[in-house]
Amino acid sequence: MNFRTEHDTMGEVKVPAEKYWGAQTQRSYENFNIGRGIETMPAEIINAFGILKKAAARANNFLKPEKMTGEKLSLIEQACDEIISGKLNEHFPLVVWQTGSGTQSNMNANEVVANRGNEIAAKKILHPNDDINMSQSSNDTFPTAMHISAVLALKKKLIPAALNLIETFKILEEKNKNIVKSGRTHLQDAVPISFSQEISGWRSSLERDVELINLSLTPLHELALGGTAVGTGLNAPENFAEKAAEEISKLTGENFVSAKNKFHALTSKDEIIFSHGAVKALAADMMKIANDVRWLSSGPRCGLGEIFIPENEPGSSIMPGKVNPTQCEQVTMVAVQIMGNDAAVSFAASQGNFELNVFMPVIAYNFLQSVRLLSDSINSFNKNCACGIIANAEKMKNNLYNSLMLATALNPYIGYENAAKTVKLAFKENLSLKEACVKLGFLTSERFDEVFHPEKMI
């Protein structure tokens, strides 16, 4: 491998010749060999840095044109566009487990933009700190990248995935609106419910989760950029924060604004906690839905067997013909991971000291992993399971009419205690509710038929 010599304030460093990163990135690469190649800084953060560096250069050009000249701006914009497109991802090698402020990833972005811009210009015109990092600090850029990436991930990935599954459930509701089945509480038989009503519970849960995620987006649109090192805005020109947020909004199509209190924005991560809590709520509902589906499809002969789900792959290496609810299983595993991530995000966010939180990379990593995993999980569950759910109407009817909890319909006619006696006799002697009720003398056969209509109990 060929190397070139780069330098920073600590001296000279050899850097792979074909890479755009510089001395500070190389030092981090060598000093933090922790999860390398696997737990690198998320691509969403790199994309966000491309956006914010471009926006910052535009703001500086507007406010300080003598320093951020049109030539420099053009070069920075070209390099940032390549970062935003993902073309330069290989030039961002740093791991999550680095400095807690994300300084080295900020410098990674500064060095890549500067070196790529200089290559385009065929001369050394851009400096990583003086030009690319102008009016900024790692302490305000990294939390800004966190918020940009979080908003874009939620709006482009997770919310659309949830909305697609909601539409699938709406279709299933319409298809199954005339099917009545036994309800269940505490995993025990309960009074009747229509299958469409059961599905509507799934749908409504997801709709509420989307509402909660949308609520969490508002505070995430506030950006720390402009606070620089400790929140005072040192070395940033007046109105830089507002102008940079305006430019970020133009680049993303989102209404980002400058955070009102930069001292809060640099040290507190409550916006991320709040939003991840909404993501966790969606994960919890997805676990509930997945568990319902695999219980309802259990069998095929010794379980509930009330629905059929797609048979996607063999389920056993030893039991021929076995098919498992694998899509439900992946959903529940993803949900567990997200609940673990929520604990990590919460612990990390509680560790702000004085003017800075130094757990930001791990917060960003876990938040974005949660959004990415849950988005993919929901899409997979929708495509490979939910879209193919078919009601086993005959089994639902058999289970319904075999349920002793239908005795609840008799309460107005024979009273709660007599209805309970009817249930106990029916269960003990393996009788139908009608046979037990008539045997106990509570109703005649004819009167029982007049008042007992399970399909009207929903």
Q: Is the distance from CB of 155 to CB of 429 less than 8 angstroms? A: no
Q: Is the pLDDT of residue 364 over 90?
A: yes
Report the CATH fold assignment for 3-134: Fumarase C; Chain B, domain 1 (1.10.275)
| pLDDT tens digit sequence for 240-284 | 999 999 999 999 999 999 999 999 999 999 999 999 999 999 999
Q: Is the pLDDT of residue 444 over 90?
A: yes
Q: The domain 403-456 belongs to what CATH superfamily?
A: Fumarase/aspartase (C-terminal domain) (1.10.40.30)
| pLDDT tens digit sequence for 162-184 | 999 999 999 999 999 999 999 99
| pLDDT tens digit sequence for 218-233 | 999 999 999 999 999 9
| pLDDT tens digit sequence for 93-102 | 999 999 999 9
Q: Is the distance from CB of 256 to CB of 248 less than 8 angstroms? A: yes
Average pLDDT over residues 409-424: 97
Over the chain, what is the mean pLDDT?
97
**How much is the pLDDT for 1?**
84
**How much is the pLDDT for 174?**
98
Q: What dihedral do alpha carbons 446, 450, 453, 457 form, nearest 10°?
A: -140
Structure tokens of 383? 């495509």
**How much is the pLDDT for 277?**
98
In 304-359, alpha helices (H): 326-349
Residue ranges of domains in the chain: 3-134, 140-180+195-392, 403-456
Q: Is the distance from CB of 256 to CB of 249 less than 8 angstroms? A: yes
Q: Is the pLDDT of residue 455 over 90?
A: no
Q: Which of 85, 204, 316, 350 is catalytic?
A: 316
375 pLDDT tier (thresholds 50, 70, 90) = very high
Q: How far apart are CA 458 and CA 103, in angstroms?
A: 60
Average pLDDT over residues 293-311: 96
| pLDDT tens digit sequence for 303-340 | 999 999 999 999 999 999 999 999 999 999 999 999 99
Confirm whether 216 is a catalytic residue: no
In 3D, which of 378, 391, 336, 380 has the Cα closest to residue 166? 378
Q: How far apart are CA 231 and CA 212, in angstroms?
A: 30
- The fraction of the chain above a pLDDT of 90, given in percent, is 99
Confirm whether 316 is a catalytic residue: yes
Q: SS3 breakdown of the chain: % helix, strand, coil, rounded to 5?
A: 60, 10, 30
**How much is the pLDDT for 352?**
87
Q: Which residues contact residue 370 at a Cβ distance below 8 angstroms, ignoring those fewer than 6 apart? A: 276, 279, 280, 283, 337, 338, 341, 342
Structure tokens of 26? 């190389």
Report the CATH fold assignment for 140-180+195-392: Fumarase C; Chain A, domain 2 (1.20.200)
| pLDDT tens digit sequence for 24-75 | 999 999 999 999 999 999 999 999 999 999 999 999 999 999 999 999 999 9
- Can you tell me whether residue 390 is helix, strand or coil? strand
Q: How far apart are CA 386 and CA 292, in angstroms?
A: 12
**How much is the pLDDT for 314?**
93
In 3D, which of 441, 405, 409, 444 has the Cα closest to residue 423? 405
**How much is the pLDDT for 129?**
98
**How much is the pLDDT for 76?**
98
Q: Is the distance from CB of 83 to CB of 113 less than 8 angstroms? A: yes
Q: Is the distance from CB of 181 to CB of 169 less than 8 angstroms? A: no
Q: Which residues contact residue 244 at a Cβ distance below 8 angstroms, ignoring those fewer than 6 apart? A: 52, 55, 56, 58, 59, 135, 223, 225, 226, 258
- Global confidence as pTM: 0.96
